[in-house]
Amino acid sequence: MKLGQLLFNILIAVTLGCALPSNPADSTSAKNVILLIGDGMGPQQIALAVAYSKHISKSELNLYRLMRDGEVGAVMAEAGTNLVIDSACSATQMASGRSCRPEMLGLDVDGNKVQTIVERAKLAGKSTGLVSDTRLTHATPAAFASHVIHRQFENEIAQQLIESGTDVMLSGGLRHFIPSNILDSAAATSAGIALSPASFPKVKSARRDEEDLLAAAMVKGYETVFDIAGLKASKANKLLGLFALSGMPDAIEMRSIQGNPARSMPTLAEMTTKALEVLARNPKGFFLMVEGGQIDWAGHENDAGRMLHEMLRFDEAVGAALTWAKNRSDTLIVATADHETGSFGFSYSAKDIPEAEQLSQGFFKSVRYEPRYNFGRRENLRKLFDQKRSFTSIVGEFESLNSPDQSPERLAAMVGEATPFILSVDQAREVLAKEPNRFYIHGHSELGNREAPIIRDFTAFYPYIENNRINLIARALADQQDVVWGTGTHTSVPVLVIAHGPSKLTDRFDGFLDMTELGRLLFESMGFDAAG
C-alpha cells in the first residue's frame, strides 16, 4: 500500500469512526482454511478415481477440478523417526508442523505436547471443526485436538476432544463417549440417548469408567445429535454429532442407503456442509479438517471396488467444500493425504491377453496390432464400481453363519453375488485354509503362533491377521481386475497436496514438501507463526 493511500485510508477510518475495513483481496492470510485429508490416498488412488470419472461416469471429479484450478505439490510421507508413517504421526505433523513418531498423537519426537492448528485457531478466536467418516477418536481427527502417547487410548482421546472445545465434531465413535454401564439400546434409552436402530443396531460402551462424556459435552455448551434429522435441525454453534457406535458405514453401504429418505446416517458431504454452515457464523473465520478415512481401510483390505467407492465418497466432500468456497477470496482449501495404503496399482499382465486386431485407421494398414500383454481393461473400472458389498462385510456375514454353513461353496457364492469378478470354489478353499502364522508372536504376543488364514508372500506386511480372509478374497480377484497390491499396510509413496484458493495463499504449496513443512504452511496460511 502506498503512503498516500495509507493516509487516505486512515483518514476514511477516522472519519467513519471505525477500524480499517479488511479487504480479503489484500490479505496475505486466509480467514478460513478447509483441510481435506484422504487417509491412505496415494497418487494412484486419486488416479483410480480420475480414471473412473474420465472413462465411465464422464463427470468431472471434484479433486480433478481442484488440481486443475489450484496448485499441486508432493509431500514426503515419512515419520520424524522412520521411513514409513501412520495416520497418527502424519496428522500430528500436519496439525503441528512438528516431527513425531508413529502411533503417537499430538506429541513431538521427544514426547512433548505440540500445539495443534485447532488449538492455535481457537486462541485467535476462530471456530474449529473436525469431521470424519471413521470415528472421532480415530487417529486422524484425534491428532488435531488431543495428546496421547499411543493412538489406541481412544477413551482418553474422547475426553480430551470434549475438553478441547472444538466447536463442531461430526463422526462415529459413540462407544467412547458413553459410561461403561451402557451395554445395550435399552440402557441408552433410559439414559436419555435416543438412537435410531438403523444406525445403532448394537449399543455397547467401550469405556472402563462411569464418565458420561455426552453430559460433559452438554455442560460445555454442545448440542449432541445422533442422526441426520438432528444434524440438519441443529441451530447450535457448538455441535457434537456421533452417528455410529464405532466406525461409520463403508462407502458402498452408504451409497446403497443414500437414496432412502428415511435413512438416519448422514453422508460425509452432508457432515461437511453442516460443519461449514456452523463454523461460518464466526466473523473471525475458522479451521475445518474433513477426513475421508476409509480409503485407508479399503487399502488395508486390498479391496479395490470398495476403494473406488471410498474415493468417490471423499470426492463428494471435496465438492461440498468447493461449493461453499465458490467465489470467496478469503478461503484456502487444501486437499492431501497422510500416506498411501496397500501399494495399489493397475498393472499389465500375461492374463487375458487381448485378441489381435486390424486397425482400420493405422498407417500400416496391412499390419495387425498384436499385443503381447494385457495392459488393463477400462471396463474393469465399471466392474469395480459395480461391487455391491465390501469384502469386509461379506466376511463378517460369512463368519456369523453356523460353522457347517461356512463352506467354500457358500463363500464363493457370496462373493459372486457381490461382484462381477469370480472367486472359484478352489480359491475360496484357499481363503478359508488356516495354518500357524508366526507373526502373531510379534504383533500379538498373547496369542502365540495361532492358526490363521495365511498370506504367503510378504507375510510380515499383513499384520492384521484376523482380517486375512478379506485380503485373500481381494487378492484372488486381483488378476481379473488388472490390479496388484504390495502390502496390507502403508507405503512410503509421496502423496499429493492440492491447494485451491487465491494464488497468494496457494502458491507456496507446490514443490516437494516435508510433511512438517506442510503443517507449517497451514499455520502460516492462517496468519499464525509457524510452530518451530
Applying CB under 5 A, the residues found at the interface with Zn ion are 296
Identify the residue among 45, 53, 62, 87 touching Mg ion (CB under 5 A): 87
Torsion angles phi and psi, residue 308, rounded to 5:
-60, -45
Give the nearer residue to Mg ion in terms of CB position, either 37 or 67. Answer: 37
In the DSSP assignment, the letter for residue 225 is E
336 binds Mg ion (CB under 5 A): no
Q: Shortest distance, CB of residue 311 to Mg ion, whole angstroms?
A: 14
Q: Out of 230, 266, 293, 494, which residue is the one contacting Mg ion (CB under 5 A)?
A: 293
Q: Which is nearer to Zn ion, 78 or 296 (CB)?
A: 296
**Smallest distance from the beta carbon of 78 to Zn ion, in angstroms?**
15
User: Can residue 40 be called a binding residue for Mg ion (CB under 5 A)?
Assistant: no
256 is catalytic: no
**Closest distance between Zn ion and the C-beta of residue 370, in Å?**
42
- In this structure, are residues 162 and 216 in contact, taking their beta carbons and an 8 Å threshold? yes
140 binds Mg ion (CB under 5 A): yes
Contact status: 340 vs Mg ion (CB under 5 A): no
What Rg do the C-alpha atoms of the chain give, in angstroms?
25
38 binds, among Zn ion, Mg ion, none (CB under 5 to 8 A by kind): none
Residue nearest to Zn ion (CB): 296
**Strands ordered across the beta sheet of 239-242:** 223-225, 239-242, 168-172, 127-135, 286-292, 32-38, 331-337, 495-500, 71-76, 511-514
**Grid cell 483410480 — which residue?**
48
The entry of Zn ion, Mg ion, none that residue 494 binds, CB within 5 to 8 Å by partner kind: none
Site string for Mg ion, 148-177 (x = CB under 5 A): ------------------------------
CB-wise, 267 or 427, nearer to Mg ion?
A: 267
Grid cell in block for residue 469: 480372509
Residue placing its CB nearer to Zn ion in the complex, 296 or 310: 296
Q: How many Cα atoms occupy the beta-carbon half-sphere of 506 within 13 Å?
A: 24
Cell 491447494: give the residue: 499
Residue with cell 434409552: 189
| Between 291 and 296, CB nearer to Zn ion | 296
Q: Which residue number has the CB closest to Mg ion?
A: 140
Distance CA 37, CA 168 (A): 17
Region from 17-25, 83-91, 272-280, 515-523 binding Mg ion, contact rule CB under 5 A: 83-91
Q: Tell me, letter by letter, the H, E, C secondary structure of 414-459.
A: HHHHHCCCCCCHHHHHHHHCCEECCCHHHHCHHHCCCEECCCCCCH
Q: What is the spatial distance between Cα 357 and Cα 436, in angstroms, rounded to a whole number? A: 49
Q: Is 299 in the site for Mg ion (CB under 5 A)?
A: no
Q: Which of the 8 DSSP states describes residue 133?
A: E
List 53, 59, 87, 525, catalytic entry: 87
Residues acting as catalytic residues? 87
Residues lying near Mg ion in the complex (CB under 5 A) are found at 39, 87, 140, 293
